[in-house]
Structure formats: C-alpha cells, structure tokens
Amino acid sequence: MTARTFFLDTSVLIEDPDCIEEFLDKETNTVIITDIVMAELDGAKAHDVRARDAIRNIKHYIDQNRDYFLTKKYWELEGVQIGPGKGYLNFFSNNTVQQGTDDAHPGVLAFEPALSKPNDMGLVQLCKEYSASHNESKIMLITMDTNQASFAILNGIDAEYKKSEYIDPNQLHRDYVTFTDDALYLKILKTSEKNPERRFISLADIDEPWITELIANEFVIYETPEVKQRMARGERISHEHIFRYDILKDALVGIPRDDQVLLDRIRPRNLQQQLILENDRAGVQGLISAGGAGTGKTYLMLALGLHKILQRRRDRGESSSLEFIPRPTLRCFTRYVSVAGEEIGSVPGEAHEKVYDRFSGIATNFPQVINNIKLGQAVGFTLDQAIEMDAAYISIQNIGGLRGASFAPGDVMLIDEGQNLERAVMRTAASRIGHGEIFVLGDTTQWDNEKVDMRDNGLAHFMNAIIQISFYGRGVRREDNKAVNLHFQRRKFNDLSRDDAKKFGSYFGLHFFEHIIRDPKAEFAVKFL
C-alpha cells in the first residue's frame, strides 16, 4: 500500500475541522500540521468558531500523546498514530523560514499574487524542506485556495484543491425511479398471490442496476406507456404501479389502493403530492419537500400539518381537566433575511408581526386550505386571525426562537424556505423536535441569505445526509453508485452500525416537486427567465 503524506492548509482545517481523521483513514497515511498553519488558526480563532474547533481537535490529539511530544524535539518527531488502523499525525517547523519578504523563501518560485501572501509561500517551502529532509516524494498539499494549489504545483509539490462540502443539487432531486420490465412487474404480482392486498418483493430477488440508487422511502414506479404520459404531465397515476422502498425490510412494498384524504376533502393533485402522502401514511416522520414556486408543496404540507393537529386535538379532547397539558400545534419557522438585499428597518409590533411578511407562502395558502375544509370558524379564516386565536392551532416564529424552545408531544414543526438556513442552524432546528413530525420546505435554486448558496445550505445538507445514511445503511459502494460520498460517510458514520443507519434513514422521505400547478404564463417565466 502506497504511503501518502498530506500537508493541510489552514483553509482546509477551518472549513472542515474534523478532516484530519478523513486523511488518516489508512495506516500508511501521514498528516502534517505546520507552525504556519497553527499560527494562522490562532489568528482566526477570535472571529471564527471553526478555527476554534480545529484547534481543539489538534489539541485533543496532542493531549492523547502528551508524554511523546514532551520528550521529543520538533525535528525528532515521527508522528503519532491516532488510533488502531489509522494513520499518523505529525508536526513540522523550520526556523530558517522567515515571513514577510520574498528573500525569506529561497528556492520558491514566486509570482505576483503570492507576494502579498507570504504564509502561502512559507507553507510550500516547508513542504519542500520536509521532502528533502525526510527523503519523501509522495507529498501532497491539501488546500481550498486554487491559487495556492497552482503555486505549489509550479514549485514541484503535488497539490489538491479540496472543495468545500458543496453538494450537487441535481443529486438531491430524487423522488422515484422507474422500471419498464414487464417480467419484473409480473414477478412482483406473483409473489403477492397469497396476499393480493399486500404487494411485496425483497430487493434480493431483483436483478436490476437501479436498486443501488434507492434510498429510504423512495418510490419505484412501473412505467407503462400510459403511465409515462401521465408522469410527463405531472398527473397522478394508478396505485397498482407504485411501490415504496422499505429500508428496514430491504424490500419494495406496494402502496394502498386508495387515496389518503386530508381534512376530509383535500386529495393529491399531482404525482409528487400523491407520493408524499403515501410516505406520511407509511409513518415517515420527516418529510423534506424541495422544488420551485407553484408546485403545490406549501399547500400540501400546510394541509397535512393542520390535518395532524386537528386529528390529535380531537383524539386528545378539549375537556377542562386537560387544560394544563400543552395542545399539539403546527409550529412554523423561517429564517428572517432581507430579500434581494433590501433593508426595511425596524419592524414594529409583536414577535409574530415582525416575521409575518416572511411567511407569505403559508399566509397565501392558509385561506385556501381553510376555505376548502370549512373550518375557518374554529381555526381562523386567515393566518393572522389563526395565530391570534386562543389555543391557536398554528404559530409562526423566526428560526432564532428555536434556541431553548420546548415542544409539546404531537407538535408538528414546519420549516419554510429551508435553503436560507445555514447547516448549523438546520442542525439545531432538526434536533428540537421530539415526539412529532418535521416538515422542511424550500428551493435550493432560490436563496436570500448571503451566507449560503445553491450547493451549501441547510436544506441541501439535510437532504444529502439522508441520502448518504441510506447508502451507508444499505452498504452501497462507491463503484456501484457515484453519488456515494465516502469522505462524508467516514466522518459522520464511522462508529454507526448499518442497522442503526437504516433506522435513521427510515424516519425521512425526500420529495422533489417538479411539475408546476400554475398558469402557463407564470410557468414560462419560472422556466425561462
């Protein structure tokens, strides 16, 4: 096995404080932390929590091997193994390398952009010094700075540009896979002959390449020519052709032959709505809905949330003896950010009034849902009426109010515009819900928060984690599916059993709303402008 030595740049440790273990996944690997990097982390710790996390991680390894480091001079260090089967962590310094002038870096090719970044030159010089003193040729500098990577290569040091944990949005847009094999469909029907009401087939009995693509609670559709036409138009299809992947049973399970009806009146209008209600009926507690405006996701999730709250309150009863028990509530959250960079100044009023304009999607859909089910008198005819009522069925709040918040059993959390949340904020939000459901809505192609983008936001990271934990639980290999992120899995699931991973995955369902329920003129604008 080839020995590899990685020099980590400060940018890599700040972006991903846990990455040391990622590079030390083999015993033959060595990670080098230089004094230049340690100094830069020290300078960044005052304003960047990730720098502080990186410093703590490095200190953890040093504390584990304190006696070794106390008895060795820096030029005598050979590195310490961070764990059984893991690689070696080492530190390197060269006192002859000074900072501040070009002359301080003999033998290093400098070009104009590098002159203002002496630490970059110093790090490359340390790589060269280490290579010469240790007779080591397999050195690679890992950086997130493309210029520094080029600079290192020009000086004879191999370098790799480590991208941030960006996510390809196209890999998140999954709702179902299709197959056209008539023989497979007949095979499924044959396995169900003893119990026609329960169509079921184990994945072990299916020899198709698409089975490696499946994640927990994804749907598989038998695509006939008629079904294909209906899917192209975004219409609902026959229940007989739809199967849900049950990751705990590792099998495809046919969905019930009747529609789930919300609030006694609301039925799914398109395929995506049909599938998301089937996941809810199967007991999936975390429903993640991504897609553009006008696809019906907000209307459906609002109706589903109200359906659950009304049902639970009816089951619970409203007798005076239970007044001290918190009532289940649909609790809606969003991130208050300025849209298109506008500043509206201080907003007067109560807390919910300050964020009301950020819930325009829910506010617009709320009267339509209520008028459809004829419950305005009890719930409120508009969103502002509903949140002002005694024992309100719905509440709205800025996502910042989650810190320290308590949830009643049976509460439903609905996070709107999830793409405007940073990953850490989404983690906090998702960790708050206990004995209820969490619905997350958003569109990764439209964001207003300057701290996120299409590939790096809370919604995208949430969806990616669900996909990766499903692959890990199923044991899907990278060579079988290019969407498998081994680096992510090594960092996050290293101590997680496959069975526990499947259980986590079974809680969630991903849905991508593709087809727009709107006027053709508006559809044209969304697609082509």
State residue 333 phi and psi, 5-degree precision: -130, 150
Token readout for 450 is 């300057």
Nearest residue to 379 via CA among 285, 311, 441: 311
Nearest residue to 527 via CA among 427, 428, 429, 445: 445
Q: What is the dihedral of CA 422, 59, 127, 50, to 10 degrees?
A: 10
Contact status, residue 156 vs residue 77, Cβ threshold 8 Å:
no
Nearest residue to 330 via CA among 355, 347, 346, 312: 312
Q: Which run of H or E residues covers position 525?
A: helix 520-528
Distance CA 438, CA 177 (A): 25
Q: What is the dihedral of CA 453, 456, 462, 464, to 10 degrees?
A: 120
Beta strands in 127-265 (DSSP E): 139-143, 158-161, 176-179, 200-202, 219-222, 242-246, 251-254
Pinpoint the alpha helices (H) of 107-259.
112-115, 118-133, 146-154, 169-172, 182-191, 225-232
> How distant, in Å, are the alpha carbons of 180, 206, 241, 273 from that of 226?
12, 24, 11, 19
- SS3 for 455-511 is CECHHHHHHHHHHHHHHHHHCCCCCCCCCCCHHHHHHHCCCCCHHHHHHHHHCEEEE
Q: What is the DSSP string of 293-339?
A: TTSSHHHHHHHHHHHHHHHHHHHH---GGGTTSPPP-EEEEE----G
For the entire predicted model, the pTM comes to 0.74
Distance CA 81, CA 64 (A): 10
Show pLDDT as tens, one digit a residue, over the chain (529 residues). Answer: 578 899 999 988 988 887 888 888 888 899 999 989 999 999 988 888 888 989 998 999 889 888 888 887 655 667 888 888 888 999 888 754 444 444 555 555 444 333 345 677 888 888 888 888 877 768 899 998 888 888 899 988 998 876 555 677 777 777 799 999 999 999 888 877 666 567 889 999 999 999 999 999 999 999 999 999 998 887 889 999 999 999 999 999 999 888 788 877 888 888 888 999 999 999 999 999 988 777 888 899 999 999 999 888 888 765 434 455 678 899 998 886 655 555 555 555 555 555 666 788 888 888 888 877 666 677 888 888 888 887 888 988 888 777 777 788 889 999 998 988 888 888 888 887 767 899 999 988 788 888 888 878 889 889 999 999 999 999 998 888 888 887 678 777 877 899 999 999 999 999 988 766 556 666 676 567 6
Token pair 């959390």 is found at 413
